[in-house]
Every structure is written in structure tokens, then in C-alpha cells.
Amino acid sequence: MSELNFNPLVEDPVKLKTLSRRRFFGLAGGAAASVALIPGVGSSESQAAVAVSDLNALPKAPAPDDERAWEEVASQFLLRDGLIYMNTGTRGPSPRYVHERQVEALEGVNSDYLGYSRHVANADFTKALRQKLADFVGVDSNEVALMNNTTDGMITGTWGPVLEPGDEIVYTNHDHVGGTHPILHRVNRDHLNLKVVDIADRKFHPPRSADDYLKAFEAALTPRSKLLSFCHVNYTDGGILPVKEICEMARARGVLTIVDGAQPPGMMKLDLHELGCDMYAGPFHKWMMSSMYTGFFYVREDVQERIEAILTITPPGKNMYGGTELASFWDDYMGSAAKYELRGSTNTPARMAMDAALDYHNHLTPQAIEARDRYLAAKLRNGLRAISGVDVYVSDDPRLSCGLVSFTIEGVATTDLNDMVWERHNIYIRNVTHKEVDWDVNRASMHIMVTAAQVDTLLGAIEEIAKG
């Protein structure tokens, strides 16, 4: 086993780094064997044959309709044989490359924590990871914090701004509890006002134009509004909101913006500076397909002073003994978004999986992945619209939708539909149900573990069920 993993006897940091990056699945089959022990997982011959230890063995930026290339990509997932996975919007399983890097790191920390954290998962690694992440989302490295999920960022951004009683926080009625519930807590405790943007109306399903969204936001803001929270992509219906226009409008009125970016990272190429929001919280465990419990939080450099790091152990200007001298350890955290990170020990293998996921996406390229997701989603939307009795709630306009497709079959309960496609075809989709705003749909996520043939299987299943 020690042959395959991090070797504590190697003291040369360069060698250690090289060793740590060796794909040990490929070397002697140790971890590959452990994967095969899980019944039905990674056990098929085809999966064994395509085990990837080298990203360069994967196609580079395939065209959206290059089925052969994308099938090769899809075959790299550890998904159980026959499972058709269409719920990346909740959790994106890691492709083999990312999985291997995470397992490798887990073995590193368990075989020699000290050596591994000194030579591999050290401060340089963390800085490089922030830089790679920042490049990926189009910002500067001092503007991103490594977090555990979207909710982490939403909580931090909600409690961070200084607000006075009577100030108003605004959110939409298609937001997620990860964003709304921290707001409800703060509103209650600090005697703030709450305002809700109504985007539940039928005219948003599918939305006719981005302008309809913008008008709804404009109408909701008041002179007391101080913080506006909304989703970049609604998890409920899959609609893309016009973030840039909404943030411009909010900034002109002196309102801070926090965007719930749970869905776009890994699905859409991101340029957060271009979007112009003040804060953006995203996960790495959904469309980025990194480990569970990974994410990031972006805060624009020029608003960081106004967003306090109150949920961390970052020193508030002085040390625990009252002095203003701070240990050099804090240099990496003070004066940048990294100040939002520190809440005790972290999960090193998960951080390594973030790094691997970035490499993975950069290899396939975010543009190619987005184009593939859009291609599959268009195929699904078109197929669904052609089935009598099926309603689709996302737009065909690429500015208004991407990889999430929401739909219903008339007369079929959404939970029953989940069960039917699962029991009959091993297809995993979900429902999103919020009766309070008359919302109850099925939702399918189109990402790169899905093949065009699988979309046809789903369409066939829906047609059969719609016919009764």
C-alpha cells in the first residue's frame, strides 16, 4: 500500500509533490480493488478498461454533439451499472479522476498527516487553489474564500454587513432555504424588514424575457432596502436570472447584492466580475463534481471592508490577549476574502478534490461543458414539448436557461413520476415542490455523465407514462 500512496520516508518536497500526484489507481490496483469491492460499483469490464489516471487520456473540449467523445467522458464516472443519473442539481458525483485524487489525499493524510500537510497540502497549495478557483470564476484571488458549500457563503454574506433596525433585506420566492433562512434569522434578531420579490407568477414559467425579472426586482426594492439576495439560476424551475442588470440596478440604489450561485458553477462558464455582484456563493459538489462539502464564496474587493467575518476565527484587529500584534500565520487570511474561511480544521482530501475538479473542468473546458449541457437540455426540452400532456417551464432562450429542465405530466403526481422512472428505467430525477407558491414540478439535470441515448430513454419513459 505504501508503494501506491504518499510515502512518509521521502523527505524531498519536490519528490513528495510528484509522488502525491501519481495516480495510484493505475499503479498497482490497490484502491481500484477497493472500489470494485462495492457491489455493482466500478465492477464492469468497460469501467475497468477506462480507468483514468491521466487527464490527457480524456477528450479535450469535444463538440457538443460529439457523442463518441462524450460517451467516453460519461464512462469515467463510478456510477453503478445501468444507473441514469439526472440530478446533478442536487449532487454531482465525481468523475474517476477527481475521485482518485481525493482518495489519494485521504491516504496521504492518514499515512503521514504531518508530512502530507507540510509538503503537499500546505499554504502554497491553498494559495494556488484560490488562484485557480479565482481564474475559473473570473475574479482576483484575494476575492475568493474556500468554503464547504453554498449555504456557508450565503450565511456569511447575510450576517456580514452591518445593518440597522428597520433596514430591509430582499429575497425572491423562488430562492432556496440555504439563502432565505439565514436572512429570516437575521431579520428576526436584528429587527429588520423583509421584502419578497414575487417571481412565482405563471409569466415566469417559462419566462418571456429577462426584462420581466428585472421589473419584478425593481418593483420590490424600497429606499430602506440594504441587501438583495437571489439565485443566479433558480433551482426550482431552472431559469437564469439577469444577474448583471439586477446588480447594476441594485448598486445604483445603494443595495448590496448576494447571489446564490448553487447551480451555475461547472454548468456555465462564469465571469463574476462581469456579472457585477457584490457577493456570490457557490458549491463544488454539484456541477463541479468535486467532493461533498466543498464550495466557495466571492466578495468583491471593494466591499470586503463592509462584510464582517463574524462567523470565523479571523482576529478582529487584535489578538486574544488584547494586543494588536498578530502572528504571521494570519497574513494569509487578513485583508482578503480568505478571512471568511477560517472555522477550525478543514477537510484536506475535499480541498484536493476541489483542485482536481478545477483541473478536470479546465481540461474539458467550461465552454465545452456548458455547450454539452445546453445541447442535452435542448434535446430534452424539445422532446418533452412534443409529448402531449407534458408542460415545460424553462425557456429555449439561452439567456434564460441552461442545464436544468423543469416539467410536469398532466395528471401525474411529481413524486409518482420520480418513482416510475426510477423503478422502470433506473433514471434518477427529482421533484421540486413548494405548494405555498403553487410550485410542484419534476426536474432533470443535464450534465456530462448523461448521454444523448439516456435522454432518449427518459423521453421514452415520459411518453409511455403520459399516454397512461
**By the criterion CB under 6 A, which residues form the site for ligand PLP?**
90, 149-151, 176, 178-179, 231, 235, 260, 262-263, 283, 295
Check if the beta carbon of residue 360 is closer than 8 Å to that of residue 385.
no
Q: Which is nearer to ligand PLP, 293 or 330 (CB)?
A: 293
> Least distance from C-beta 154 to ligand PLP, angstroms?
7
Q: Which is nearer to ligand PLP, 400 or 465 (CB)?
A: 400
Q: Residue 440: in which H helix or E strand, if any?
A: strand 439-445
Q: Which is nearer to ligand PLP, 58 or 262 (CB)?
A: 262
> Least distance from C-beta 464 to ligand PLP, angstroms?
29
Q: Which is nearer to ligand PLP, 73 or 444 (CB)?
A: 444
Q: Exposed, middle or buried, 130 (CB in 10 Å: 0-12/13-18/19+)? A: buried
> Least distance from C-beta 243 to ligand PLP, angstroms?
13
> Least distance from C-beta 183 to ligand PLP, angstroms?
13
Cell numbers describing residue 148: 464547504
**What residues contact 246, with CB distance under 8 A and at least 6 apart?**
213, 214, 217, 228, 230, 257
Complete DSSP assignment for 152-195 = HHHHHHHHSB---TT-EEEEETT--HHHHHHHHHHHHHHT-EEE
Q: Which is nearer to ligand PLP, 235 or 375 (CB)?
A: 235
**Which residues share a beta bridge with 138?**
none
Q: Which is nearer to ligand PLP, 231 or 342 (CB)?
A: 231
Strands 144-147 and 295-299: antiparallel
Check if the beta carbon of residue 129 is closer than 8 Å to that of residue 354.
yes
Q: Which is nearer to ligand PLP, 150 or 454 (CB)?
A: 150
Cell 432556496 belongs to 176
> Least distance from C-beta 371 to ligand PLP, angstroms?
22
Measured CA to CA in angstroms, residue 361 lies from 60, 228, 373 at distances of: 10, 30, 13
> Least distance from C-beta 263 to ligand PLP, angstroms?
6
Cell numbers describing residue 332: 494569509
> Least distance from C-beta 261 to ligand PLP, angstroms?
8
